[in-house]
Amino acid sequence: MNEQKTLIVSSSPHIRTPRDTRAIMLDVLIALAPAFIASIVFFGWRPILVTAVSVASCVLFEFGYRKLMKKPDTYGDLSAAVTGVLLAFCLPPTAPWWLPVIGALFAIVIVKQLFGGIGKNFLNPALAGRAFLLASYAVLMTSWMPTNFQHVDAATFATPMASLHQGALAPVGLGAMLLGNVGGSIGEISSVALLLGGAYLVYRKVISLRIPLSFIGTVAVITLIFSRGNGHFAWMLQNIFSGGLLLGAIFMATDYCTSPVTPKGQIIFGVGCGLLTVLIRYFGSYPEGVSYAILIMNLTVWMIDKNTAPRRFGTEAKKPFAKLFAKKEKEAAK
């Protein structure tokens, strides 16, 4: 076969899906677009500035770090851009331009790249960045502003989360909460936009419904049973549609890298997130608990995955955390 160029020999399979990491991340960016548009509608030009700076610095830090360490470039997979958008989405619209830069530095370099980059970090970079900023610049991180359609004095303005934290229903209607005519972080205000993005992700099979449903479902059940203020349902609905719950449940808790891969594990993870969220909202000193709940559950991913292996084909099913239960049963037998 002299006239022929060399043929490639490799192990099967010889075809691959066109959907690579970049395509998936692009889908996430598309799903985030409605929430971004909603934030512009309600807050004006500020979200554009914060998001642009955040995305640019995330991509730049990713590029710079990989270059400095002489590692192959990864900014092209768009995961840094997704982190950038998510980081901006959990900042208040009043954030000064340098705030997202510091957050991006922490998220990309310390949380993500120091552990080996995409797929290796054990904390959600955007949430860890937010937690870092909240601890360092508490005042800047909680300076809210009213939306373009609210006529409230900015100085006394409070987010719905603040009233819920006091144990009282927020003085806003459900419609305003769904649309996003409430105070809050850039990306979290419009529930409808977030749900739209979530539906797109599920349709494109980027995420499964396991984590979001178990997360939101747990919050719903607990807030319904242990409701405060007046009205069980109103309390539950306000807890679901205010604060960062939808943003967290749809976009952050489902982060591939920091959530379990087993189906059973994903449900356990979602329930854990929901439980911790309510606990922090009820008993914590911060009004919002979603980000810390997810960060704490991030730390349990390895343990959950190890104990929720799918049933081996051709054998009986094992219970999740079988070892743990076996020990307890043994002790009980004694």
Partner 1 sequence: MLFKRHGGVHPKDMKAPANETAISTIPQPPEVVIPLSQHIGAPCSPLVAVGDEVKLGQKIGEAKAPVSAPVHASVSGKVVKIEKRLNNLGNMVDAVIIENDFRDTPADTVVPASEEDLGDPEKLAQLIREAGIVGMGGATFPTAFKITSGWGKVDTVIINGAECEPYITSDHRTMLEHPEELLKGIQLIMRACKVDKAYFGIELNKAFAIDLLNFHGAKAMGIEIVPLKCQYPQGAEKTLIQTITGREVPPGGLPAAVGCAVFNTFTSYSVYRAAYEGMPAIERVVTVSGSAIAEPKNVLVRVGTPMQWVFEQTGGFQKEPFKIIMGGPMMGLAQYDLSVPCAKGTAALLAFAEDEDRTVENPTCIRCGQCLGACPMNLQPIYMYMYEEKGDIEMMQKLNLMDCVECGACTYICPGRLHLTHAFKTGKAKIQAYNAALKAKEEAEKAKAEAEKKEEK
Closest alpha carbon to 98 in 39, 50, 45 = 50
Q: How far is the CB of 35 from partner 1 (least distance, A)?
A: 22
Cα(10)–Cα(162) distance, integer angstroms: 59
Tokens 């310390």, located at residue: 110
Stretch 106-125: interaction string toward partner 1, x if CB under 8 A: -----------xxx------
Q: How far is the CB of 77 from partner 1 (least distance, A)?
A: 8
Q: How far is the CB of 264 from partner 1 (least distance, A)?
A: 11
Q: How far is the CB of 31 from partner 1 (least distance, A)?
A: 15
Q: Which of 45, 135, 315, 333 binds partner 1 (CB under 8 A)?
A: 315
Cα(93)–Cα(96) distance, integer angstroms: 9
Query: Do 274 and 248 touch, CB atoms closer than 8 A?
Result: no
Q: Is the peptide bond before 13 cis (omega within 30 degrees of 0)?
A: yes
Stretch 2-41: interaction string toward partner 1, x if CB under 8 A: --xxxxxxxxxxxxxxxxxx-xx-----------------
Q: How far apart are the first and last CA of the chain?
A: 75
Identity of the residue, 188 or 255, whose beta carbon is nearer to partner 1 in the bound complex = 255
**Burial profile 184-216: b = 16 or more Cβ within 10 angstroms, e = fewer:** bbbbbbbbbbbbebbebbbebebbeebbbbbbb
Q: Is 74 in the site for partner 1 (CB under 8 A)?
A: yes
Q: Return all residues near 290 (Cβ < 8 A) that are at least 6 apart.
A: 243, 244, 245, 247, 248, 249, 252, 273, 277
Stretch 201-240: interaction string toward partner 1, x if CB under 8 A: ----------------------------------------
Identity of the residue, 109 or 221, whose beta carbon is nearer to partner 1 in the bound complex = 109
What is the H or E stretch that residue 177 is in? helix 174-179
Identity of the residue, 18 or 175, whose beta carbon is nearer to partner 1 in the bound complex = 18
Q: Return all residues near 166 (Cβ < 8 A) that are at least 6 apart.
A: none
Q: How far is the CB of 276 from partner 1 (least distance, A)?
A: 21
Q: How far is the CB of 330 from partner 1 (least distance, A)?
A: 21
Q: Which of 1, 139, 155, 333 binds partner 1 (CB under 8 A)?
A: 1
Write out the residues near partner 1 by the rule CB under 8 A: 1, 4-21, 23-24, 72, 74, 77, 79, 117-119, 256-257, 260-263, 305, 309-315
